[in-house]
Amino acid sequence: MLRLYDTRNRRVEPVLAEGARSMRMYTCGPTVYRHAHLGNLRSYLLSDLIRRVCERRGVRVAVCRNVTDVGHLVDDAEIDPAGEDKVLARARAEGRSALELARSYEEAFLADTLALNIRPPEHSPRASETIEPMIELIAKLVEKGHAYATPDGSVFFDAASFPSYGEISGNRLDRLRPGHRVAGVDERKRFHADWALWKPADRELTWESPWGRGFPGWHVECSAMSLRFLGERVDVHTGGIDLRFPHHEDERAQSDAAAGREVVAHWVHGEHLLFEGRKMAESTGNVVLLSDVAEAGLDPLAVRLAMLEHPYRRQMNLTWDTLRAADRTLRRWRSRVAGWSESPSRPMPAERVAAVEAAFDDDLDTPLALRLLRELERDESIAPGSRLEAFLHLDRVLALDLASEIGRTPSLPPGAAELLDRRERAREAGDWAASDRLRDELAALGVRVADAPEGQIWS
């Protein structure tokens, strides 16, 4: 069964009980005020891999991924209830209404996830359309003594009422200090680390509530949506490493305080993505979109393959050279699979496939899985039909569309696929004499071979 690193428990452990046949997973979705960059998309690839590995074992997975189209502040790190909503700020800059802007970037996000073969979630609630469950959750927290209203119409979570706060990030309440960019201490709060569940306002994207007109805090959105759509038992909660604090700490406190129990069994986080050695963020001016990759003439799934080459828990430095190399590998594998498909099908090499699947199960060790796959690709002792079945079977997790070239190329004569494989390996080894000899053998079979920067091309 799949084992993952649990951020809260600080160890790799099974995410489901032996024999479990269902799993509920929540993943923090996009804030739809701009295009998602490759660093954002890495987080959603993580949840997709978890899903695919579990489904390979016959587990039915239900995923909830929210859409934040209201309530996300420009300065989240300071837990500042007076901050400006990111969606409203960008809408004003682009001269559109907030919901027009949000729907536009939501569609762009969904197109990117589709291009990366990230499966759509069973539930994708929008914050602006889930206000009622948020108000109900806030009222429940007030009733249970975990939240309090102030005269101006704000509602704050009482952090001191949740003693285990900080178990995910290590940021315990007794060590927290007011943010350095917040002027003074908010007199409305009982404790400086309390955060706003409801904020009073009279502008676009506000709603009536028992405490007056306003809008929800960002952190309460995920609690309300996960409880509404997945219930009080969530097996896995995923997100980027930057969400550990304060977002996931606040979310855990809200959900557990309302439910009276530990709601999320396992918290799993993916590390940051660098590009050409620098953090990918608008603030650094180092943003690369999936559309930029396509415009460079590369297959979007080269991004998926490049990310699979690195452990999800380690910071990754993506480069254009890395992406071009992944694109070449992707095209070669598709060509090999198409060539192998001309040979009779054979049973998969069971031990080799089991080793790759064991790597998937071991905290998503995709780098090892890919190394084992390359070894299988080069192993001439394994029949082409067996390698075909193995690659197609494992592509259910890799999701690289490795079968996409089958049937798109002319049929190879018998034996030609093996000769092409051997010639490609000879070229990689610099054995030009063998390469020329194999080209002559292919020509005798009626297959013409030419060499190009991206590899050999045959007709």
Q: Are residues 172 and 97 in the same domain?
A: yes
Residue 410 host element (H or E): none
Distance of alpha carbon 170 from alpha carbon 428, whole angstroms:
49
Distance of alpha carbon 287 from alpha carbon 305, whole angstroms:
19
Measure Cα distances from 269 to 5, 50, 279 in Å. Answer: 8, 12, 17
Where residue 325 sits, what CATH number does that domain have?
A: 1.20.120
Per the CB < 8 A criterion, the answer to whether 30 and 67 are in contact is yes
Per-residue confidence at 416, pLDDT binned at 50, 70, 90?
A: confident
Where residue 151 sits, what CATH number does that domain have?
A: 3.40.50.620
**Which of 97, 92, 93, 117 is CA-nearest to residue 41?**
117
Distance of alpha carbon 379 from alpha carbon 153, whole angstroms:
69
pLDDT beyond 80 at 123: yes
Query: What is the average pLDDT score of the chain?
Result: 92
What is the pLDDT, as a whole number, of residue 77? 43
**Locate tokens 């430095």: which residue?**
317
Distance of alpha carbon 447 from alpha carbon 261, whole angstroms:
67
28 is in an annotated binding site: yes
Q: Which two tokens stand for residue 140?
A: 């429940």
* Residue 410: burial class (beta carbons within 10 Å; 0-12, 13-18, 19+): exposed
Distance of alpha carbon 250 from alpha carbon 173, whole angstroms:
12
Domain's final residue, options 391, 409, 427 = 409
User: 455 in a domain, yes or no?
Assistant: no
Domain's final residue, options 409, 429, 454 = 409
Distance of alpha carbon 334 from alpha carbon 356, whole angstroms:
19
- Residue range 73-91, pLDDT digits in tens: 654 444 444 567 788 888 8
pLDDT beyond 70 at 20: yes
User: 259 in a domain, yes or no?
Assistant: yes
Q: Are residues 54 and 134 in the same domain?
A: yes
User: 2 in a domain, yes or no?
Assistant: no
Domain's final residue, options 237, 270, 303 = 270
Distance of alpha carbon 111 from alpha carbon 441, whole angstroms:
45
Asked whether the bond before 246 is cis by omega within 30 degrees of 0, the reply is yes
- Please say whether the dihedral angle defined by the alpha carbons of residues 236, 237, 239 and 245, taken in this order, is positive or negative: negative
Per-residue confidence at 409, pLDDT binned at 50, 70, 90?
A: low
User: 314 in a domain, yes or no?
Assistant: no
What is the pLDDT, as a whole number, of residue 203? 82
206: Cβ–Cβ under 8 A, 6 or more apart, which residues?
A: 213, 214, 215
Distance of alpha carbon 42 from alpha carbon 316, whole angstroms:
10
Q: Are residues 199 and 122 in the same domain?
A: yes
428 is in an annotated binding site: no
pLDDT beyond 80 at 130: yes
Distance of alpha carbon 46 from alpha carbon 35, whole angstroms:
19
Average pLDDT (405-430) is: 83
What is the pLDDT, as a whole number, of residue 284? 75
What is the pLDDT, as a whole number, of residue 80? 43
- Residue range 209-241, pLDDT digits in tens: 999 999 999 899 999 999 999 999 999 999 999
For residue 319, the Cα-to-chain-centroid distance in whole angstroms is 19
Q: Are residues 256 and 326 in the same domain?
A: no
User: 428 in a domain, yes or no?
Assistant: no
User: 287 in a domain, yes or no?
Assistant: no
251 is in an annotated binding site: yes
Q: Are residues 172 and 242 in the same domain?
A: yes
**Locate tokens 């089958």: which residue?**
406
Q: Are residues 264 and 348 in the same domain?
A: no
Distance of alpha carbon 374 from alpha carbon 112, whole angstroms:
27
pTM (predicted TM-score): 0.87
Q: Are residues 93 and 160 in the same domain?
A: yes
Distance of alpha carbon 305 from alpha carbon 376, whole angstroms:
17
Average pLDDT (246-255) is: 97
User: 6 in a domain, yes or no?
Assistant: no
Q: Are residues 146 and 70 in the same domain?
A: yes
**Locate tokens 């496939």: which residue?**
353
Per the CB < 8 A criterion, the answer to whether 51 and 122 are in contact is no
Window from 62-76, 101-115, 160-174, 263-277 with minimum mean pLDDT: 62-76
User: How many domains is the chain partitioned into structurally?
Assistant: 2
Residue 14 host element (H or E): strand 11-14
Q: Are residues 153 and 85 in the same domain?
A: yes
**Locate tokens 């989240």: which residue?**
76
**Locate tokens 């390469």: which residue?**
435
Distance of alpha carbon 421 from alpha carbon 118, whole angstroms:
31
What is the pLDDT, as a whole number, of residue 14? 97
Per the CB < 8 A criterion, the answer to whether 22 and 63 are in contact is no
User: 99 in a domain, yes or no?
Assistant: yes
Output the CA torsion 134→140→145→148 (10° steps).
Answer: 40
Output the CA torsion 353→354→360→363 (10° steps).
Answer: -150
Measure Cα distances from 239 to 137, 154, 327 in Å. Answer: 22, 28, 27
Q: Are residues 333 and 196 in the same domain?
A: no
Q: Are residues 211 and 69 in the same domain?
A: yes
Q: Are residues 247 and 351 in the same domain?
A: no
Distance of alpha carbon 73 from alpha carbon 354, whole angstroms:
46
- Residue range 272-328, pLDDT digits in tens: 999 999 988 777 778 999 999 999 999 999 999 999 999 999 999 999 999 999 999
Query: Which structural domain, as residue segments, surrounds residue 85?
Result: 16-270
54 is in an annotated binding site: no
Q: Which two tokens stand for residue 251?
A: 């979310």
